[in-house]
Every structure is written in structure tokens, then in C-alpha cells.
Amino acid sequence: MSRKRFVAALMRHETNTFSPVPTPVSAFGRVGPTDGPARGEEAVRVYRGTNNPLAAYIDIAEREGAALAVPIAANAHPSAPAPDGILDLVAGAVLEAVGQGCDALFLDLHGAMVTEGFDDGEGELLRRIRAEAPDLPIAVALDFHTNLTRDLALLPTTLAGYRTYPHIDMYETGMRAGEALLKAMNGAAAATAWHSLPLMPHMNVHSPSRPPMQAIMDRASAAEDGGEVLLASVFGCFPLADIEHVGISAVVQGPADRAERLVLDLMGEAWEKRADFLFEIEDMADSVARAAAMSDGDGPVLLVDHGDNTGSGGNQDVMAALRECLQQGLAGMAAGPFADPEAVAEMIAAGVGAEVEVEIGGKTDMPAMGLKGEPLRLRGRVRRITDGEFTVTGPMFTGVRLSIGRTAVLDTGAAEVVVSEERYEPFDVGCFTHCGIDPASKRYVLIKSRQHFRAGFEPIARGIVMLAGPGTTTSDYSLFPWKKLRRPIYPLDPDIPSNLPSQA
């Protein structure tokens, strides 16, 4: 028997259609040393041994003794819709590799990618692949924030989604999708059932590690792990996108009747609990005052500004939360990173030790939200300048070498403010420790995140206070200028019936 040939590729972008941050093709190289997507051996070198589905695919190919081609790995940070050129590039590279002979294709995708021409970027990629390779076995790993469409559900052979948020099971998800594909190729039943609810949850309260999602995800995982079905995944969706198919969804593969029944059970439970997927928004000033009153205990109070979360497409330079903290007199604070290359350049020019007055952030307008950037003028001493490179030690993207660009620390007395050239959601303490700040020794740590901070920061915190700052990742869905979103949808249209088939 001749040696099997596998192809694996990665295309990931979570698109916030309201984001002012552009997404050129060159942005698709973020985890990796290159400007633009990684190719071939370089992609293998960057991803092997990391916590990513692609790393699992590399291990599966090695274990199976298969030849593996990785034509492209294109990963961009969340931001505005991507150019269609990225789809041309990825589809072209994958199809060229598949054309050279391929027994199975393994894709590491996001599931919430929007391009200028396609509201379902991953669906379009799969349509292009299926047009050339209608019978090719295809495994797909997806992010928990997938907005599932019919084509994305039905065109792969096997499909698995992350079970965690913060996402710490990416490698495992690749293993699940890949192993299931090998089983399906050996005859395991892999009929697909799927459903998408008109239910837009708040991302602060849809994590699978907590109610209400926990019981739903546990039920899916138990069915899959117990062998009742081949794969079962639930998606919390990515609501910050003005597209038709936003909504909590599920996809199950296995014997057709069981798959169908499980999907309806999972979605029925989610719909029943829909009110629990809503997040109460507290006024930001009240939240800061509440944090200021939490005086006892070791470790910092985390102040988490989720209205400008770069991990969901925020510009990461909205300064309202820091302004409020300083006005209320919080001290012993570490804050950042704020993305502002101009302020970094000014502080580098002044040099370590210099007293400076600098305008930080507020350089980006947010026209989709009707918001203008407002810089914060701060006076202080430049404490540290770094190249912004660190290796992740926490549980999310463990071992990955990251760069947040040149970084400067401004010490205002009350706060050590970290300013970097690149945007970065602080899921790992390295963004502070690499520039000489021990966040565990602070009274307060102000960061911009929603959920991923829990991976690196929750273990050191004595308290967590969520801040509803302004920005393009606000939890107040009534602030977004929706045009293409399906209506009715819960909670914007609170009294709607579900779209589940009636149980008559």
C-alpha cells in the first residue's frame, strides 16, 4: 500500500464588522514570524507543538506515517472584514496541494470570518474546495465563537468546535476532528445534523465552564465521549457581526437519528435558558467605585474593560476606563497594554528615566458606533522600553512566542501604564512581566478583555470587576447599527418564538 498523503491548512479570523481596525492580507501572519501567511515547512515549524488544531493535525499525520503538506497557515487578529484576496490565497494554496494527490484534508478554521464579499468566509472556502473535490474527506476544527451556516455545517466530513472559553482546548479540538475523520474514512456513521437559534447571547455569560452553557456543553461532550455519536459541538456564536447567521448553534455527527435528536435536545435547552444568556450592564463609574471598595486581601483586583476588547475587534486605544480609575483615585495600578505606536515612539525618543507628558490612545475614531477617539494626557516617568517579545507561559497558546511591538511603560505614580505598538488581548501575564511589572504585586490591574484574561490573570486576582467601557465590543447590543442581522432575534426582539420544530 502506498504512503497516504494528507493536506492541512489554517485560516482564522474573527471578524467584528463594526471594527475600525483594517485587516489587510499581511495581517494574516500574527502567530508566526512572517508578514503575511506562513507557508509549507515554515508553517509546520511555527505550529508544531503548540496548542492549536494544526499542531494536532501534524501529529496525526506523523503517527499515521502519512506525508503531510501544509500549504498555508493564515491567522489574523480580530478586526474589520478581510479582503476577498485572503480567500483566493488560501483556497488557491489548498487546492494546489490537494491537486498533487490527497487522501484527507484537515482544516483549522475560525467560523466567524467575514470578507468584503462573503458573510461566511469559511463557507466560501469550503464551497471552493468542494467544487474541485466533492468526495474528499475533510476534517474541520472551529472556534467556540463560530456563526454556523448551512454550508459550514454540511460541507466538511467531520466538524469539531472548541469546548472552552477562554480557549484552552484547541489542540484537543484538532485531535477530535482529525480522529473522527479517520474513523469516518473507515466506515463510522457520520451523518450531520445541525441547528442555529435566533439567540444572541452576551459573550460575558456564554462560557461553557459556567451556567447556562455548562450543562448544554457537558451534555454534548458526554454524548461524544461516551461514543453515542461521533462528534457533538455547541457554538456560543460571535455576536459582534452584522450578518444574517449570528446565533447559538449546534452540530452533531453520527448515526442520523441520534444526531438529529441530540441537536434538538441541545438547542431546546439553550432556548429554554435564553434569559440566562443576558448580561446586566453596570455603569462604568459604579463598577470602578465597587472595585475601590474591595480593599482587603492579597493580589490585585482585576478591572476588565470589555467594551474595547481587541480580542473581539476593539481598537484597544479607548481611554475612558483608565480616565475613570484615575479620577476616582485608584493607586497601585498596572494598566494596559494600550495600543498607540505614536505614544510609544514619543517615549522611546524621550528615553528611560525621562519625565514626559504624553497623549495616550484615543487616536482611532469608531464611525460605525458614532464614537470619536479621545486621547488621555498623562504626565510621568518612562520606566522601561522593550521590544515587546515574550513567550506565553499560561494555559492559552502555551509556548507561543508573541510580539506586541515596541513597548513603553509610563509611571504616573498612581499607575504603571503599558503602551505597545501592536494590539494584544491580555490572556497571559507576559505582557506585563516582560516589561518589569509583576501584576500579582499590584492593588489593581486594568486590562481590556472579556473572557480570555481568565486564562492568565484569574489565578492571581483577589477580585474581578467587569467595566462596561465604550467601544466596538460593547455588550449593549442596542448600540449597534444592525442592518443584515436576522430578525427577529432574541434579545433584541424579546417575545419571539424559537425556530425549533415543534415537539408535537
Segment lying near Zn ion (by CB under 5 A), choices 20-28, 139-147, 287-295, 446-454 = 139-147
Residue 17 Cα distances to 79, 228, 236, 240, 368, angstroms: 8, 38, 18, 7, 9
- Shortest approach of Zn ion to residue 312 CB, angstroms? 8
What are the φ and ψ backbone dihedral angles of 380, each rounded to 5 degrees? 180, -170
- Shortest approach of Zn ion to residue 46 CB, angstroms? 20
Of 190-249, binders to Zn ion (CB under 5 A) are none
Residue that is written with C-alpha cell 472556502 in the block? 125
CA gap 210, 324 in Å, rounded: 30
- Shortest approach of Zn ion to residue 146 CB, angstroms? 8
What are the φ and ψ backbone dihedral angles of 363, each rounded to 5 degrees? -90, -10
Q: Whose Cβ is closer to Zn ion: residue 20's or residue 166's? A: 166
Distance, CA of 208 to chain centre: 14
Position among 108, 143, 169, 416 found at the interface with Zn ion (CB under 5 A) = 143
Among 302, 228, 316, smallest CA distance to 453 is for: 302
Segment lying near Zn ion (by CB under 5 A), choices 144-152, 216-224, 251-259, 437-445 = 144-152
Q: Binding to Zn ion by residue 434, rule CB under 5 A?
A: no
- Shortest approach of Zn ion to residue 408 CB, angstroms? 29
Looking only at the bridges linking them, the beta strands covering 231-235 and 249-254 are antiparallel
Asked if residue 194 lies in contact with residue 154, where contact means CB atoms within 8 angstroms, the answer is yes
What are the φ and ψ backbone dihedral angles of 290, each rounded to 5 degrees? -65, -40
**Binding letters toward Zn ion, positions 165-194, x by CB under 5 A:** ------------------------------
Q: Whose Cβ is closer to Zn ion: residue 110's or residue 323's? A: 110
- Shortest approach of Zn ion to residue 283 CB, angstroms? 27
- Give the CA dihedral 82, 87, 93, 99, nearest 10 degrees: 170
Looking only at the bridges linking them, the beta strands covering 463-467 and 333-339 are unpaired
Q: Whose Cβ is closer to Zn ion: residue 203's or residue 343's? A: 203
Biggest CA-to-CA distance, the chain? 74
Segment lying near Zn ion (by CB under 5 A), choices 138-146, 228-236, 468-476, 483-491 = 138-146
Distance, CA of 194 to chain centre: 22
Q: Whose Cβ is closer to Zn ion: residue 398's or residue 499's? A: 398
- Shortest approach of Zn ion to residue 78 CB, angstroms? 9
Query: Residue with CB nearest Zn ion?
Result: 145
Number of residues this chain uses to bind Zn ion (CB under 5 A): 2
- The set of residues, in sequence order, having a beta carbon less than 8 Å from that of 2 and lying 6+ positions away, is none
- Shortest approach of Zn ion to residue 123 CB, angstroms? 18
Q: Whose Cβ is closer to Zn ion: residue 122's or residue 143's? A: 143
Q: Whose Cβ is closer to Zn ion: residue 143's or residue 425's? A: 143
Q: What share of the chain is helix, strand, coil (3-state, %, to 5)?
A: 30, 20, 45
Q: Whose Cβ is closer to Zn ion: residue 108's or residue 143's? A: 143
Position among 145, 176, 195, 274 found at the interface with Zn ion (CB under 5 A) = 145
What are the φ and ψ backbone dihedral angles of 192, each rounded to 5 degrees? -110, 130
CA gap 122, 146 in Å, rounded: 10
Segment lying near Zn ion (by CB under 5 A), choices 90-98, 136-144, 356-364, 409-417 = 136-144
CA gap 313, 300 in Å, rounded: 26
- Shortest approach of Zn ion to residue 174 CB, angstroms? 15
- Shortest approach of Zn ion to residue 142 CB, angstroms? 9
Q: Whose Cβ is closer to Zn ion: residue 145's or residue 163's? A: 145
Binding site for Zn ion (CB under 5 A): 143, 145
